[in-house]
Chains A and B, each alone.
Chain A
């Protein structure tokens, strides 16, 4: 793995603030299923859609500036209504419009094309905005988890993930390394056709609980963008191995 912050917490139990949108539901629920002894301590700060867009920097904290997002992060974190960077060892920004970059191994692309693609994937996305705000108040490790690859039915054929891995590598080299951040790839075993998530992980996905009537409601079956608890658990296990 590239970047200066990989394996920075090896053999050490750390406290991580997980900041994200609807996609953190699978992580949060997956986290419940992990063994307490082996897992790091995670505190979730979530808001559906672009709710966290109004987070602003205030001294050493990220603070919601609307009642809705304050309620939301307070609910998901178990009562904390601001993210004080001094309270955590590291940060994970998950979902928040962050996308993967797929650069087919079989194709040639100029350096300028790859740079522009990496730029397009990252810039003007909520994840990047929060990363910049966070980086302005802390030098602690920040990890990125992109929106899961779209769900697709597994078919026989190419299962090579090298184009996906190549894209992750470029994102880290071109964009995130400059901010001392690191994209964590989606677990290899969840990927089909090199660019999609096995549809099994999109079945039974649930909405993020923020304290309203829609808490934990099942996503419609046609939703192939949100993943279920099993995916979340797998993702976190893979994440813990990498930090």
Chain B
């Protein structure tokens, strides 16, 4: 005969499901609700005080988190600012105020480990640079300036500035938000360092002998992320992390799979890694932006017609859940309403180098 479970108030129940909250059951949490009324998708581990500096990095979707923090008067940390006077449009063109420093997209956890290692002085950036028509391109931020740099020295100084700013983000922020984007990655075969984009796509030249593709496994993604967190915590013992997984599908895949299958592999691995690290570490939380956009419950309504780009309504919906989660968990300690209307369906103008790969598909 089964042993009866005890509830909080001491009354016995017949099984462990009887006393679970509504959110644990599909029917009351999903089936009987409008999709826009679905709530309690995130129970945050940490209270983010509005004044606490929050650094944001990662794949394309990460930039929306920074903007949402800024719009709600949170302290989005920007450690690398443009000159005072540069227009918003100019700043965007030169990749300022997209992430907390001008790293451009950090799609993989191994790339995060590489930036972290450079920033904290555990290793130095390689000497490689790319040159085209007299302009110089940073292999680790190939599209950071629309026309490259005037000189090699300028390129190196600019990267050094970004590394310095990235270090400031590690040492001075209270929260580090990282959006995991890809498992597919490109490495330098001889020296083992990673490129954010396949050489020859945005800039540089592809060399089949030198450049190696790697579709990272769960363990590779997990260990790189764990290493990054460990290094950052050593530099800032109070730093806490919020992980998200980008809901945006791959633009293109170099694996032998169909791009849809490759996307599902990539996102599944990233989701599992983020979940496991958040589960195992008190200082790490996971925010379900991936689920909110991708779940069948939302019927694909947050995607642009190409079923890849996330529309503004989707971004707002995700970010509303982020802030509502904080309010639900910790009380209404800030104004939860967005400062800009959220109902617009205007296309989002995000900075996403990976989308440049799409151009190669148009030739097919």
Contacts and interface: CB of A to CB of B under 8 A. Distances in A.
B149 interface: yes
A116 B90 contact: yes
Nearest to B162: A108
Contacts of A121: 85-86
A102 B85 contact: yes
A110 interface: yes
Contacts of A109: 82-83, 158
A185 to B, nearest CB: 14
A120 B161 contact: no
Contacts, number: 64
Contact of B85 (A101, A110, A112): A101
A110 B160 contact: no
Interface in A25-70: none
Interface of B is mostly: loop
Contacts of B342: none
B34 interface: no
B86 A120 contact: yes
Contacts of B87: 120
Interface in B305-362: none
Contact of B84 (A108, A112, A119, A195): A195
A107 B161 contact: yes
B147 interface: yes
A109 B160 CA distance: 11
A108 B82 contact: no
B261 interface: no
A213 B294 CA distance: 61
Q: Which of B86, B89, B147 is the most central at the interface, judged by chain A CB atoms within 10 Å of its CB?
A: B86
B158 A108 contact: yes
B84 A101 contact: yes
Nearest to B84: A102
Contacts of B150: 110-112
Contacts of A112: 94, 145-147, 149-150
Contacts of A99: 85
A109 B94 CA distance: 11
Contacts of B90: 116-117, 119-120
A224 interface: no
A195 B83 CA distance: 12
Contacts of A102: 83-85
Chain B interface size band reads 20 to 34
A104 B154 CA distance: 17
Contact of B149 (A104, A110, A167, A195): A110
B147 A113 contact: no
Contacts of A101: 83-85
B145 A103 contact: no
Contacts of B93: 116
Nearest to A118: B85
Given A107-B161, A108-B160, A108-B161, A114 B154 contact: no
B85 A120 contact: yes
B83 A113 contact: yes
Contacts of A118: 85
Contacts of A73: none
B265 to A, nearest CB: 38
A167 B85 contact: yes
Contact of B82 (A111, A117, A119, A195): A117
Nearest to A113: B94
A100 interface: yes
A110 B86 contact: no
Contact of A104 (B83, B94, B145): B83
Interface in B130-152: 145-147, 149-150
A114 B84 CA distance: 10
Interface of A: 99-104, 107-114, 116-121, 167, 195
11 contacts: A101-B83, A103-B83, A107-B80, A109-B83, A111-B150, A112-B94, A112-B146, A112-B150, A117-B83, A120-B85, A120-B89
Given A111-B154, A116-B93, A119-B90, 5 more contacts: A104-B83, A114-B83, A116-B90, A117-B82, A120-B87
Interface of B: 80-87, 89-90, 93-94, 145-147, 149-150, 154, 157-158, 160-161
